[in-house]
Chain A
Amino acid sequence: MHGFVREFVEACRSSDLAGVRAALDEDVFAVVDGRGPVYGATAVTALVGALLCGRPDTSLTVESVNGADGLALWRAGRALVVVAVDAEAALITALWIVVSPAKLRGWQRP
């Protein structure tokens, strides 16, 4: 597992948005399924902060998503969000964010 995804998760868990931002490339983009692209570290930090970090009754974990370290946000054994992560030079360059329950059927844990 790459350290920077772990660091990203730990910062996010404690709602440390400066720490979240530090894991992102300046030119990072996030694409939300069915919604749209968000571009740049400031905007992506805001999106991630609201979507993934410090939400009550949830847990954020590092998962193997499409062959690389990614993220999943869980509530009661069900994944609410799964994120595939692209990285270069130990910085996150892209987040591919899927929230549609129809696309997360394979992501249930007891």
Chain B
Amino acid sequence: MTDLEDAAAVFAGLRPRLFGIAYRMLSSATEAEDLVQDVWLRWQTTDRSRVENPGAFLATTTTRLAINELQSARKRRETYIGPWLPEPVDTSADPYLGAEREEALAFASLMLMEKLSANERAAYVLREAFDYPYAQIADILQSTEPAVRQLVSRAKKHMTGEQRTTVAPAAQKELLTTFLAAARTGDLGELERLLTAGVSSISDGNGAIRVARRPVAGSERVAKFYSALSSWYWEGVEISFVTTNGQTSAVLRRAGNLEGVMTVIASADGIEQILWMANQDKIAPLVSLQGGHKAG
């Protein structure tokens, strides 16, 4: 076997794992594929006689490239029209996608990981899905073991905290009603006080009502968005409340017509997410498969 054949065989054996890391970092099979290809090119031109542990070397290269790539991918996704979802990946042949465990693969997890910093995300993925020792993750991230433990613990808190909601039903209802009152009057200070730093607001817009088509993120931007809306949106809107499974939602009507439903997901820190959902009549445009999608 030539040296290059040997390099190719080593790489082929590790490829599923590298792809699994890259996909969990980027939520995109296309971007993960490109990244693994880039790692392969680097592997070909590396002085491999000096690499003691190819698995560790390639995982390190993949993770570091993915951290950089995630930062530019996030900038692109900010301009995506409407909520951004991951690229689905076929896991029939490999249910854990190259990892030791199924962690950090489900859509809900990938969506939550979008809110982690790139380093938090890498530490969480390597630890929880791939079971890397903390010391090795510290090498990969050019950090220290205590710092990595803290990254993983912060990430886990974020991941589990949001998946298992949240606050007592009464507190959620209280936050929703206080939020609606502040949104109506456009009280910027009060809005900011109610929102957590990482808050996001998702509305379906759909062109039918003049609201943002893409999620608005961050307490300052979300507060400004609802404050700006207050001058025209709420005129003539009546609010009633419905409660299902301990979650209270506000039903918005204008002149008796259903306008939409709004609810908040809250944690002990305040409002984490505002969901604004359209009237059922407004669903129809969704089902057109020929709709103008942008690549993303």
Contacts and interface: CB of A to CB of B under 8 A. Distances in A.
Contacts of A39: 249, 261, 263, 275, 277
B85 A37 contact: no
A68 B91 CA distance: 8
Interface in A53-110: 63-68, 70, 80-84, 86, 94, 96-107
B135 interface: no
B92 interface: yes
B257 interface: no
A104 B296 CA distance: 11
B158 to A, nearest CB: 18
B153 interface: no
B106 A68 contact: yes
Interface residues of B, number: 51
Given A43-B280, A47-B283, A37 B82 contact: no
B294 A27 contact: no
B219 interface: no
Interface in A16-48: 26-27, 29, 31-40, 42-43, 46-47
Given A51-B286, A68-B106, A98 B85 contact: yes
A98 B244 contact: no
**Interface size for chain A: under 10, 10 to 19, 20 to 34, or 35 or more residues?**
35 or more
Given A34-B81, A86-B108, A65 B89 contact: yes
Contacts of B110: 66
A87 to B, nearest CB: 11
A106 B89 contact: yes
B283 A96 contact: no
Contacts of B92: 63-64
B90 A65 contact: yes
A99 B97 CA distance: 22
B91 to A, nearest CB: 4
B122 to A, nearest CB: 19
A45 to B, nearest CB: 10
A98 B88 contact: yes
Contacts of B43: none
B172 to A, nearest CB: 13
Contacts of A42: 280
Contact of B95 (A26, A64, A81, A105): A64
